[in-house]
Amino acid sequence: MPTAAPVPTPAAVFSHRPLTDADIPHICRFARNREELYFLFPRATWPLTPEQVRASLAVRRDPTVVLRGGEVVGYANFATFEEGCSASLGNVSAAPWVRRTGVAKHLVRIMMDRAFDHHGLPELVLRCFNTNTPGLLLYAAMGFVPIAIEERTAPWGDRLALLTLRIDRARWDAGRGEG
Ligand SMILES: CC(C)(COP(=O)(O)OP(=O)(O)OC[C@H]1O[C@@H](n2cnc3c(N)ncnc32)[C@H](O)[C@@H]1OP(=O)(O)O)[C@@H](O)C(=O)NCCC(=O)NCCS
């Protein structure tokens, strides 16, 4: 009797590598609107342009893309980096046409491995707005916990809460293989 083909896991479907200049026009299409661009890159001006991304690379570290088939479908980097102390995860984004398929989970896991395994950092932090439900639930699923709240005013005038979330090495170690 024929057996069903195994369903591929995300790890088998996705690959990753450092960002190249040719990827930049693709990642500029990941934010669907002004609000999403503000969530993922608060200092950027809508619409995101390759020039803004290139300029940001001067101060960001480990820019990384996720690919599905040969297509670039996810992007993240470290927005700040303090050797031996801490890094903050930034520009986390998934192409709109592949969302809800595990791209961001794969991407965040890669960046966590990079922070803890490769750089040996004791913690990884990130910032996420209170109205960004997909982002907050993503980071909660990956083991991040909120540690601070600050007020911000969005470009469209709304008062927002900007949460800082953190995961430390022990929690990351305990969660290996999950998520
Ligand atoms: C947030 C974002 C990166 C998620 O990308 P994604 O590839 O769709 O996420 P995944 O498929 O890996 O989902 C991982 C988890 O995130 C959460 N999540 C993602 N999208 C969600 C949604 N629309 N509603 C609720 N939860 C959601 C869920 O917990 C999900 O796990 P589940 O599928 O087991 O329920 C994507 O929506 C995006 O690029 N948004 C615009 C930019 C942005 O807000 N970036 C984050 C800045 S802090």
> What's the pLDDT tens digit per position in 121-167?
999 999 999 999 999 999 999 999 999 999 999 999 999 999 999 99
Q: Please give the full DSSP string across 74-106, using - where no structure is assigned.
A: EEEEEEEEETTTEEEEEEEEE-GGGTTSSHHHH
Residue 34 lies in a domain: yes
Pocket lining: 123 vs ligand 1, CB cutoff 6 Å = no
Residue 7 lies in a domain: no
Residue 3 lies in a domain: no
> What's the pLDDT tens digit per position in 102-118?
999 999 999 999 999 99
CA-nearest residue for atom 47, ligand 1, is: 40
- For residues 11 and 66, is the Cβ–Cβ distance under 8 A? no
CA of 132 to the centre of ligand 1 (A): 9
Pocket lining: 139 vs ligand 1, CB cutoff 6 Å = no
CA distances from 123 to 77, 81, 145 (A): 15, 11, 12
Domain that holds residue 150: 12-174
Q: How many CB atoms lie within 10 A of CB 97?
A: 10
The whole-model pTM stands at 0.95
Share of the chain above pLDDT 70, in %: 92
Residue 98 lies in a domain: yes
Which two tokens mark 36?
Answer: 């999403």
> What's the pLDDT tens digit per position in 39-63?
999 999 999 999 999 999 999 999 9
CA of 3 to the centre of ligand 1 (A): 33
Residue 153 lies in a domain: yes
Average pLDDT rounded to a whole number, residues 93-103: 98
Q: Tell me, what CATH number does 36's domain have?
A: 3.40.630.30
User: What's the count of helices (H) and strands (E) in the chain, helices before strands?
Assistant: 7, 7
Pocket lining: 119 vs ligand 1, CB cutoff 6 Å = no
pLDDT band per the 50, 70, 90 thresholds, residue 177:
low
- For residues 28 and 53, is the Cβ–Cβ distance under 8 A? yes
Residue 46 lies in a domain: yes
Q: What is the pLDDT of residue 5?
A: 62
Residue 40 lies in a domain: yes
Pocket lining: 40 vs ligand 1, CB cutoff 6 Å = yes
Q: Which of 80, 38, 41 is nearest to 62 (CA)?
A: 80
Pocket lining: 132 vs ligand 1, CB cutoff 6 Å = yes
CA of 88 to the centre of ligand 1 (A): 18
CA of 169 to the centre of ligand 1 (A): 23
Which two tokens mark 152?
Answer: 């911000």
The count of domains in the chain is: 1
Q: Which single residue is written with the structure tokens 């690919």?
A: 67
Q: What is the pLDDT of residue 176?
A: 76
Q: What is the pLDDT of residue 175?
A: 86
Residue 168 lies in a domain: yes
Q: Which of 162, 71, 56, 74 is nearest to 111 (CA)?
A: 74
Q: Which of 11, 39, 45, 42 is nearest to 136 (CA)?
A: 39
